[in-house]
Amino acid sequence: MKKKIVLIGGAALLCCALVLCAVWAAVRPGEPADQPAATADAPAEQGISQPAESDVQQEPELTLRDQEWATDIHYFQQKIAEKHIDPFFRLPQEEFDRQIEELIEQVPELDDIEIILSLQKIIAQIGDQHSRVTFYTQLTLYAFPFFINQDGSVYIYQCIADPEQKTYQLTYYQIVQINGVDIQYIVEQLKAFLPNVGNAYSYIYEIPRLLLSREALEFIGVPCRQTADTFTLLDEQGQTFNLDLVPGEGGRSFSVNTISILEVETDGQGEQLILFDLIPEEHARTAQPVDIPVFAQRQGDYFENYWYMLLQEHNAMYFGINQFSNSENPSFFDIENNMFTLIDQENTEKLIIDLRHNPGGHSSLIELLHQELQKRPDLIENTYVLIGSKSGSAAVKCAAQLSEYDGITLVGTPTGGTPWGFGLTGHNETTPNYELEFSCGAYVYSSTDGNMPPPASGYPPEWYNTVMPDVYISTDIQDLAEGRDPALEWVLAQ
C-alpha cells in the first residue's frame, strides 16, 4: 500500500513538473531555436485580431522645409542663450525652452510668416527693447498708415504734402473695428509682439506698424478675407461707415513717426490711392492745406538724422535730432558745431532740442552735446527738450541726462523707451537657412549711473520704465491736421 502511494505521489510530482515546463516555454521571451520566427503572412490565432499595417500610426517624416525651420529655430534658441548678456532675467530659461520646442512641433502646421511672428512673441518676453526679430520686411502692408493718440484712440490717415508751398493736407478717420473685431481688442493682442519691459507708452509708436500688416492681424485671430478687409470708421458726426482695403496695394514700409508725409501711393494698375476719394461722400472730411510744422519741414522719405533751424521771430534755435548716427555725411560733430556757432553769432537766447522722433543710436554722441552746453551756462537756463513715445534708447538716455541740469525743462509726453536696458554692438545674428535676422542685447546700460543692471527682482518698478516730461503736452492727430505742434508752441511762448 505504501509503495503504491509513493509511486502515485512521484507520478503526480512528475506531471506537475512537466506542466510547469510547458507553461515556462509558452511565456519565455524569444523564439525557440528550432522554430521559425513569426512572419507578417502568418495567420492570426483564432480569437485574436491583429492590427492592419495601415492602422499603425507612424511619426510623419519632416519635409526639407520643416527640417530647415527646425534647424533655424534651434539656432535662434542657442544664440539667444549664448550672445545675450542676461537672457533669462525676465523669462525663465525653462519656459523659453518649452516655447521653442512647442514651436518646432507646430512648424508643419504654420506658414513662414506665422513662424517668424511666433519667434518675435517669444523674444519679446525676454524684456529687452533691443532684442527683436527683423520681420516687418516680410509683411504685406495696407496702403495707408495708422496713428495712435495719447488717449489710445486709433486712426487711419493720409498726409499729402506740397513741398513748394510748404503745406500739407491731412485726412484722418478714427477706427472702430477691423473685420468686425473691436480695435482696442486688436491693440491689446498685438502688444504681445512688443518687448515686455513694463513701459506703458511704447505701444503708441509700435502698434501702428503692426496694424499695417494683414498677417499680424490674422495671427492674433482677426478673420481676414482673401481680398479686401473691412475697416469700420467714424466720421465727424459720430456716424460709422465701412471702408474696404486690399493689403499689398502700394505696399512699402511706412516711416511711422509723429506723422508720415509720403508720396502718394499707387495701386496695382498705377492709379493713385487717395484716401479722401475712397470715403463715401456723406462721410467725407475735407482737409484744408496747412503749413507744415517745423519738425516735419526737413522730412523726405525719412527724417534727416539731425538738422537745425533758427526761429528768428522767437530768438530761438530748433535742433532736431532724429537719430544719434555716426554717419560722416554729415557728421553730428559738424552739424552741432555749426549750430552752436550760429547761436553765438545771433545771440540766440533759447535752445529747443527735439528728441520726439528719435529711436536711439550711438549714445557716445551725447557727450558732444554736454560739452557745448557746459560752455554756455546762460543758454542752459533756457533750454527745452521735447520727448515722446518714439523717444527710445540713446534718446531716452540723452533726455534723462539733460533733465539733471538746473534750468533744462522736458516737454511733451512720456518716452516709449526705458532709461535702462540692453545695448547692441551693431551686429545682428542670421539663421543659416531662412536668413532670418534677429538682435540681442550685448551689454547693460543705464541713463545716469553707467552700466547699472536692472533691480534684482528682474523687473524694474513702474517709475523706472520711462522718462516723464516736466510739462505734459500731447500732440494728437487733430492738432497735426491743423498744422499745430502744441509742445513747440508752448516752448516758444515761454
Same domain, 298 and 396: yes
32 domain residue, yes or no = no
In angstroms, the CA 477 to CA 172 distance is 8
In this prediction, residues 48-55 reach a mean pLDDT of 50
- Higher-pLDDT residue of 272 and 462 is 272
**In 3-state terms, what secondary structure has residue 404?**
coil
What local confidence, expressed as pLDDT, does residue 453 receive? 46
Same domain, 339 and 487: yes
Quote the cell numbers at residue 329. Answer: 555725411
Pairing state between β 409-412 and 383-387: parallel
**What is the domain extent for residue 123?**
64-136
In angstroms, the CA 393 to CA 353 distance is 16
Cβ-based neighbour number of residue 122 at 10 Å: 21
8 domain residue, yes or no = no
Q: 167 pLDDT band (50/70/90 cuts)?
A: very high
What local confidence, expressed as pLDDT, does residue 259 receive? 57
Same domain, 363 and 266: no
10 domain residue, yes or no = no
354 domain residue, yes or no = yes
Q: What are phi and psi of 59, to 5 degrees?
A: -65, 125
HSE-CB at 415 with a 13 A cutoff on CA atoms is 35
User: Considering Cα of 39, then 42, then 44, then 45, what sign does the dihedral take?
Assistant: negative
**Which residues, 6+ apart, have CB-to-CB distance to 473 below 8 Å?**
411, 412, 413, 486, 487, 490
Same domain, 132 and 197: no
Q: Rg of the chain's alpha carbons, rounded to an integer?
A: 33
DSSP string across 132-151: -B--GGGS-B-SS-EEE-TT
Same domain, 260 and 156: yes
Q: Read off the CATH number of the domain in which 400 is found.
A: 3.90.226.10
The mean pLDDT of the chain is 84
Of 245, 264, 291, the last residue of a domain is: 291
46 domain residue, yes or no = no
pLDDT value at 456 more than 50: no
Q: Is 450 left (phi over 0), alpha (psi -120 to 50) or beta?
A: left
Bridge-partner residues for 412, per DSSP?
A: 387, 472
H-only helix segments in 363-476: 366-374, 377-380, 394-402
What pTM did the predictor assign?
0.83
Least confident of 112-121, 275-284, 382-391, 450-459: 450-459
Same domain, 332 and 481: yes
Q: How many domains does the chain have?
A: 3
Of 242, 259, 291, the last residue of a domain is: 291
Residue in 157, 217, 231 with CA at minimum distance from that of residue 187 = 217
Q: 31 pLDDT band (50/70/90 cuts)?
A: very low
Same domain, 79 and 159: no
Q: 3 pLDDT band (50/70/90 cuts)?
A: very low
Same domain, 219 and 124: no
pLDDT value at 403 more than 90: yes
472 domain residue, yes or no = yes
Quote the cell numbers at residue 268. Answer: 496695382
Same domain, 375 and 486: yes
Same domain, 175 and 126: no
pLDDT value at 318 more than 90: yes
Stretch (H or E) spanning 319: strand 316-321
Same domain, 361 and 476: yes
450 domain residue, yes or no = no
Q: pLDDT tens digits, residue range 67-112? A: 999 999 999 999 999 999 999 989 999 999 999 999 999 999 999 9
388 domain residue, yes or no = yes
Same domain, 204 and 256: yes
